[in-house]
Amino acid sequence: MTGDAHFDLWYLFALAGAVLIGAVLPVLPTGAAVSAGAVLASHSNPIGLVGVLIAGAAGAYVGDLIVYAGCRFGGEKLAKRVGWLRDNAKLDALRERLAEHEIGVLLTSRLIPGGRVPVLLAAGLAGYRWERFALVDLTASSLWAAVYMAIGLLGYALFDKPWQGIVAAIVLVVLVSVVSSLVQKARHKRAAAVSEAE
C-alpha cells in the first residue's frame, strides 16, 4: 500500500477476490494473503488495517457461502466433481460432531487448516439451516481474518522492511498450518488406536 487511496482500494478488492477464490477452490494460501496485507498496511497506511480485515473477512465469508450453497443444493455429486468430497467416513463423523457441537465446530473449522471444507460439506449435505450457517460463518470468517491479520502484525513488529515482514508472516502462517496438521494427525491416530482397542 502506498497511501494512495485508489491503489489501496484496488488492493483491498484484489485481496477480497483472492480470498474468495481461495475459499471456493482451496489452492491459494488465503491466510498468507491477509497477513501480507496487514504488513503492507502497517508500513504505509495503518488505517488500511481495517480495510484488510474487512476485505479478508468478506472474501472468506462469500467464498464459504458459495461452497455451502454448492453442497446444499448440488449434493454429493457436485462435491465429488469439484473435488471437495473425498472421504465419506470422515464426513459421517463430522456430521455427528456438527450435530453435537454445531457452533463450536463451525467457528473452529475456519481456523484449522484443511478443516473448513469438510465441515462446510457436512453442514451443506446434512441440510443445516441456511440462516444459522450464514450468521455463524460471518463470525467465523471475521475471526479467521483477525487471526491472520495478527500474524501479519507480528511479522511487521519483528522486521523493519515490508518485504521482511511479509516473508516472516508467510513463514508464520506455514508453521501454524504444519503444526496444526501434525496435531490433527496425532489426534486421528490416537482416536483410531482407541477404537481398535475397543
CA atoms within 13 A on the CB side of 168: 20
Q: What is the Cα gyration radius of the chain?
A: 18
Taking only the tens place, the pLDDT of each residue in 142-195 is 999 998 888 888 877 776 666 666 666 666 666 666 666 666 566 656 655 655
**Closest to 34 measured CA to CA, from 5, 60, 4, 68:** 60
Burial class (CB in 10 A: 0-12, 13-18, 19+), 139: middle
132: pLDDT strictly greater than 70: yes
Residue 59's pLDDT is 95
Instruction: With cut-offs at 50, 70 and 90, classify the pLDDT of residue 4.
Output: very low
Per-residue DSSP letter, 34: H
